[in-house]
Amino acid sequence: MPLSSAVVLAAGEGMRLRPLTKYRPKPMLPVMNVPLLEHVFESLVNAGFSEINVVVGYQRDRVQEYFGFEYDGVPLAYHVQEQQLGSGHAVLQAQSDIDGPFLVVNGDQLVAPETMDAVVSAHDAGDQFATLGIVESEVAPQYGAVTLDGDSVVELLEKPGESHYHLLNAGVYAFEPDVFEVIRATPTEDGEYSLPNAITTAIADGRDVRGIRTTGLWRDATYPWDLLSLTAEMLERSDERVHIDPTAAVADDAIVRGPVVIGPDSVVSPGAVVGPYTTLGRNSTVGCNAVVEHSIADEDSHVGPNATLIDCVTGRAATIRAGTTIEGGPGDVRIGDHIHEGVGLGAVVADRATLGGGVSVEPGTVVGPEATVATGVALRGVIEEGAEVVR
């Protein structure tokens, strides 16, 4: 039976993307002004899938309210993962709607449609238990690595660390329906059912698991600065160098440098400079003589006159008032208990946070949701949610 059903894993929070995921799950963060998840759905529709099962969990209402029950004419069925008990556990939630071979993809990673096509074609043409999409990547040691013997998968390793691994598990899997039994039979690890561990169990049991090497796009947004590099890559790949929504208002003497996307109802004021590698979300505003470069300004964001934003990611309804300067990376960024040194991030300014006028922001600064920073403050480090920073 050919594959026509897909399972999209979209239940995770994305803790390493906090504070941007405080009010929405990682798959709903914007890339090119639409959620990551929408790019995944688009690829599945283009690949010819007629059923899409979406496993949701954290902030699931955000997903369901945005997409409803169909995407581009293809029905969406939602399955709730009440507890985050691993990727295998997430797949199990969709079992009731699966009656044949099916595809599994992650809702928070961008994978080229040709990778999905290659996995589907290889699985349809054979009689193997599972088929994996594999890409060559220098980040394989930090994610999931694969070793092959011909096209047979010999081993899956989660974050092996050793630099000699270069084949990456792209997170695109085709399975026969008995994978559900294998997942249940695989011992949990720290209380979680891991999909790669289930595949390892299948290999140990002598089942045929194939790997299909492809050269298409694979990108994961693990940290806030990954959103910037991912957006830049997608902008570079776009057929349209400069996209200005017909409802946007761009002043005649504003400068728009592609690649750039300016969303609906946005305003770019006289003398402002927007781009390159920048997206302005719906109803965002860039004031007179402001500069926004290599940045993501989410919907309802406001950049005041003479402000400068470089390498910046804002959440929804963030406000950066007149004359504030975010100079851009590299900077040292604290995510949880770990310091990431020298990454290309000017700042994160999360949902409904406000930076007063004339604030100077050191590279790597993270401002939490609904935080307020007074006029003229020199800002650095992590500003917690709801904090008030005064001089």
Say what the pLDDT of residue 124 is. Answer: 87
Reduce the DSSP state of residue 119 to 3 states and report it: helix
Residue 26 identity? K
The predicted structure's pLDDT at residue 31: 92
- Give the DSSP letter of residue 135: E
Omega within 30 of 0 (cis) for the link into 160: no
Closest to 128 (Cα-Cα) out of 167, 99, 91, 101: 101
Strand, coil or helix: what is 194?
coil
Tens-digit pLDDT string for the chain (391 aa): 567 889 999 998 888 898 999 999 999 999 999 999 999 999 899 888 889 999 999 999 999 999 999 999 999 999 999 888 888 999 999 999 998 899 999 998 888 888 888 898 889 888 889 999 888 777 666 677 777 778 888 877 776 665 666 788 888 999 999 999 999 998 888 888 988 888 889 888 888 898 888 877 777 788 899 999 999 988 988 888 999 999 999 999 999 999 999 999 999 999 999 999 999 999 999 999 999 999 999 999 999 999 999 999 999 999 999 999 999 988 888 888 888 889 899 999 999 999 999 999 999 999 999 999 999 999 999 999 999 999 7
| Peptide bond preceding 141 in cis form (omega within 30 of 0) | no
Q: What is the pLDDT of residue 168?
A: 80
- Give the distance, in angstroms, between the CA of residue 281 and the centroid of all CA atoms in the same chain: 16
Give me the amino acid identity at 117: D
pLDDT at position 167 is 82
Q: 22: which 2 tokens?
A: 């405080």
Domains of the chain, with CATH numbers? Answer: 5-220 (3.90.550.10), 240-389 (2.160.10.10)
Q: Which pLDDT score, from 0 to 100, does residue 215 have? A: 78
Asked if residue 374 lies in contact with residue 380, where contact means CB atoms within 8 angstroms, the answer is no
How many whole angstroms from its chain centre is CA 289? 31
Phi, psi of 135 (to 5 degrees): -125, 150
